[in-house]
Structure 1
Amino acid sequence: MTLSNSGTIALGGRNVHRLGFGAMRITGPGVWGPPRDPAAAVAVLRRSVELGVTFIDTADSYGPDVSENLIHEALHDGTGYGDVVIATKGGFTRQGPNIWQAVGRPEYLRQCILMSMRRLGVEQIDLWQLHRIDPLVPRDEQFGVLRSFVDEGLAKQVGLSEVSVDEVKAAQAAGVPVASVQNRYNLGDRRAEELLDYCTEQGIAFIPWAPVDAGALARPGGPLESVARAHPGTTTGQLALAWLLQRSPVMVPIPGTSSVAHLEENLAAADVKLTEDEYQTLAKAV
């Protein structure tokens, strides 16, 4: 595979390949605790970089702490991460498997980034993202903290997660240099279409989570399977990722896995090129 075929985008002060890796699934069940096989998780991270991944997305709440610690163990060379941009997120507390609670108090968000810096072994986070806007805290206070992280040099860039166009505009109006947005988006769930279009217009990286989940479109006899017939040896998941990459030049899919074989399968999507007719067939199939 040639990951450069996924295209590049400027993030975290470097140009990165647009097909990255999401490090949520290298934790335990329910994104809670350590993985069943920590050595396998380390192997997945190292293999991703060997294959050309230059953008890895994680969060302090994955584990919590587990994902960031594994990234440090697997990839930190004593001075940093070389050409690999590590993006992380803060603003969630965890009380058990699959339990997430947004906390956007300024002092907590500052603790989040400082602790992520410690776990990742860096003096500056490449890209720090607010995991959720806390509805119980004035959003301008949360935006002010994001702006201060850049002003103080704690983060090269900052971004937002699960937001609307109006919220991105509000953050920009408050002086936040929004570099990325992370919302759920895939072939089967395009509720963030308006936001994606705004990010494309603004040159903001759009990082879709759950990028491979095509839902009913991947059913036997469905549109993905139909297109797959013209691409022997290509999976419907690879086609779903290829469609995302062609959807917008700011799209940065981050498929995650705890398996090296699945990782290699996902990243091979960089070599898949849909014809315009195939792209439109899938675009209209929602």
Structure 2
Amino acid sequence: MPKRRNPAGTYELAGRQVNRMGYGAMQLAGPGVFGPPKDRAQAVAVLREALALGVDHIDTSDFYGPHVTNQIIREALHPYAQNLTIVTKVGAVRDDKGAWLPALEPADIERAVHDNLRNLGLEALDVVNLRIMGDVHKPAEGPVERQVEALAALRERGLVRHVGLSNATATQIAAARRVMPIVCVQG
């Protein structure tokens, strides 16, 4: 099937050309991004339709649900199209009431990468964004070097291909870039 024309154009993400319009999978989980969706079959159908309409990159995280969103992505799309880029996040967890909690120790980051790998059904993650949790709702200054070094080690082991940042300040972006290349930054 010919690729749909994309009037918004493309940009480079992690060494690939992707359409400017991607799909943010956060709302595939239940209310408040917690628990399962009301209609799982509809969530699967939404993902399949997004790709049919030309979406070639998905933003997700295993802390959405938790685990629910990545499991739905796997159910809907695995085995993944070669041109699909999945960008996931680490750096937070959810408690049993749904609160967002920082999970920024190197062991937390490694555990989150393995959770994402397992629930997405992948051997390596295309892009992992470090969600900096100094403030849940907006960027706040604080060190990021230990976390980025943990991701660099996971990249060296072949579990992560590229690293980005989420909820970062300009100072944190500069500090992370001193440790390793950063391929994207999201708000």
Structure 1-normalised TM-score? 0.59
Q: Return the letter of the residue paired with 2:104.
A: G
How many residues align structurally? 179
Is 2:124 aligned against 1:124?
yes
Distance 2:45 2:95 in 1: 28
Aligned to 2:35: 33
Distance 1:134 1:3 in 2: 40
Aligned equivalent of 2:53, options 28, 51, 54: 51
Aligned equivalent of 1:5, options 4, 7, 11: 7
Distance 1:20 1:97 in 2: 30
Q: What secondary structure does 1:5 align onto?
A: coil
Higher helix content, 1 or 2: 1
Q: What secondary structure does 1:128 align onto?
A: strand
Is 2:94 aligned against 1:94?
yes
Instruction: Report the aligned-residue RMSD.
Output: 1.9
Aligned to 2:139: none
Q: What secondary structure does 2:150 align onto?
A: helix
**1:24/1:60 CA distance change after superposition, 3 Å:** same
Aligned to 1:112: 112
| Residues 184-207 of structure 1: per-residue CA shift (max 9 Å, x gap) | xxxxxxxxxxxxxxxxxxxxxxxx
Distance 1:60 1:132 in 2: 15
Distance 1:159 1:4 in 2: 25
**1:76/1:13 CA distance change after superposition, 3 Å:** farther
Report how far residue 152 of structure 1 moved. Answer: 2.0
Aligned to 2:77: 75
Does the CA-based 8 Å contact 1:42-1:70 persist in structure 2? yes
1:123-162 map, 5 Å = 123-133=123-133, 139-162=144-167
User: Structure 1: where are the runs of 5+ without partners?
Assistant: 184-286
Aligned to 2:185: 181
Distance 2:19 2:182 in 1: 19
Does the CA-based 8 Å contact 1:13-1:156 persist in structure 2? no
Q: Return the letter of the residue paired with 2:54.
A: G
Is 2:44 aligned against 1:42?
yes
State the identity %: 39
User: Structure 2: where are the runs of 5+ without partners?
Assistant: 136-141
Distance 2:126 2:114 in 1: 13
Question: Which one scores higher on RCO, CA 8 angstroms, separation ≥ 6?
Answer: 1
Report how far residue 138 of structure 1 moved. Answer: 5.1
**1:152/1:171 CA distance change after superposition, 3 Å:** same
Report how far residue 123 of structure 1 moved. Answer: 0.8
Is 2:16 aligned against 1:14?
yes
Q: Return the letter of the residue paired with 1:156.
A: R
Aligned to 1:164: 169
Distance 1:81 1:12 in 2: 16
Post-superposition, which runs of at least 4 consecutive aligned residues in structure 1 deviate over 4 A? Answer: none
Report how far residue 3 of structure 1 moved. Answer: 5.3
Aligned to 2:84: 84
Q: Return the letter of the residue paired with 1:109.
A: I
Structure 2-normalised TM-score? 0.89
Q: What secondary structure does 1:89 align onto?
A: strand
Report how far residue 150 of structure 1 moved. Answer: 2.2
Higher strand content, 1 or 2: 2
